[in-house]
Amino acid sequence: MANAKVLNGADPDSIAEAAAVIRRGGLVAFPTETVYGLGAEACNPLAVARVFEVKQRPRMDPIIVHVADPESAHRYGQFPATIAQTLMERFWPGPLTLVVPRTDLVPPIVTAGLDSVAIRMPAHPIALDLIRTAGCALAAPSANLFGSVSPTEAAHVASQLSDRIDLILDGGRCPVGVESTVLSLIDDPPRILRAGGVTQEALSSVLGRIEWLTEDQGRPQAPGQLSRHYATRTPLEIMHEGDPKSAAGPGERVGLLTFAAPQLTAGYEVVEVLSPKGDLREAAANLFAALHRLDAMGLDRVVAYGVPEHGLGVAIMDRLRRCSTRTDPAAFE
């Protein structure tokens, strides 16, 4: 297969071409506010099967359905009226995915055979234009090989999937930079299944009591729950600043990933600072791009200093912990 065409996502002609690809069962990578997604027509099981094949994604891992408005979301999921409307009004469009009982319109391959479906309305004009022009919801995981670092730029997509998909819509850098928060409305009280771009504090301010998924259920109930995910090829270790184990050994090339400017940088081959001003929103937006750069340098390992675990820091640390887990993703297939 030839390399995917890369088009300017802000051009209406590009949107029209991409929508035509979707309608004929093809795959299109497109920007959202979180990361780039790999979209297929959600109600086309063959197209969705190709998403799994292209990403080398385990069939047990469900895919999020992306819609262009709250009204169409009800075609695919059964939403509890009051709470869902409140959440949609407050957080849609935006980085919040809601898990609800699925309707018969959703093929089982999208939900990995579960009776629930994950649905969200992205807050990116290119994503919304593509969904509306295609005239269908998009089943769309991140546009990368399964388990690897998520793409926040079109170049990240092209480096992994260009010869496997049909088209890439370039919309520049994704402004949020980490995936959506996944919230189950099947549970009472609602339960966070994955930390992401909407913080626990923001959800609690609207819902009151919410819970976290704490037990390991083995089979994922939502994307991003496998122990190893968002992973670099280069081994990554989470440490505290000043830990003597973080220092490079003789002949060792070590990179440093840090939230704010570190006190010491001597001995590191390269230092990536996520937010010089110590802002968690900026750090989240820069996280995956920094990991891509570090991973491209042929380092022996990467040391990551932790970030404060509140607000978006919870999502950042979730990604770093899963990146640092040295488990073979093939074990879950």
* Whether residue 262 is found in the same domain as residue 114: no
Question: In the chain, how many domains are there?
Answer: 2
**Same domain flag for 148 and 286:** no
Contact in structure between 223 and 182 (CB atoms under 8 Å)? yes
CB neighbour list of residue 215: distance below 8 Å, 6 or more residues apart: none
Q: Tell whether 173 and 30 lie within a shared domain.
A: yes
Q: Are residues 190 and 250 in the same domain?
A: no
Considering only the C-alpha atoms of the chain, give the largest distance between any 2 of them, rounded to a whole number of Å. 62
Quick check: 41 and 135 in contact, CB under 8 A? no
The one-letter amino acid at 40 = A
What mean pLDDT comes out for the span 140-160? Answer: 96
Residue among 190, 236, 234, 184 nearest 211 (CA): 190
Comparison of pLDDT for 241 and 72, the residue scoring more: 72
Tokens found for residue 327: 């488990």
Judged by DSSP in three states, 208 sits in coil
3-state SS, residue 76: coil
Same domain, 162 and 68: yes
The sign one gets for the Cα dihedral 89, 73, 161, 60 is positive
Sequence-separated (6 or more) residues with CB below 8 Å from residue 61? 112, 141, 146, 220, 223, 226, 332
Within 252-291, strands assigned E span 254-258, 270-273
Structure tokens at 173: 């850098």
Q: Is 83 helix (H, G, I), strand (E, B) or coil?
A: helix
What is the Cα–Cα distance from 208 to 156, expressed in whole angstroms?
38
Closest alpha carbon to 39 in 118, 127, 117:
127
Look at residue 154 and tell me whether its pLDDT is greater than 90. Answer: yes
Residue of 178, 230, 180 lying closest to 203 (CA atoms): 180
Mean per-residue pLDDT for 180-184? 97
Domain residues for the domain of 315 are 236-332
What number is the average pLDDT over the span 281-301?
97
Query: Do 243 and 168 sit in the same domain of this protein?
Result: no
Collapsing DSSP states into helix, strand and coil, what is residue 290? helix
Q: Please, are residues 179 and 196 in contact by the beta-carbon 8 Å criterion?
A: yes
Shared domain check, 68 and 101: yes
CATH classification of the domain holding 300: 3.40.50.11030
Q: What angle do CA 243, 229, 148 make, to 5 degrees?
A: 100
Convert the pLDDT of each residue in 9-53 to its tens digit: 999 999 999 999 999 999 999 999 999 999 999 999 999 999 999
Q: What percent of the chain has pLDDT over 70?
A: 93
Q: Do 31 and 179 share a structural domain? A: yes
Same domain, 25 and 74: yes
pLDDT tens-digit readout, 110-132: 999 999 999 999 999 999 999 99
Would you say residue 181 has pLDDT above 60? yes
| Same domain assignment for residues 202 and 304 | no
Handedness of CA 103, 49, 326, 255 (dihedral sign): negative
Q: Are residues 241 and 199 part of one domain?
A: no
Q: What is the pLDDT of residue 227?
A: 57
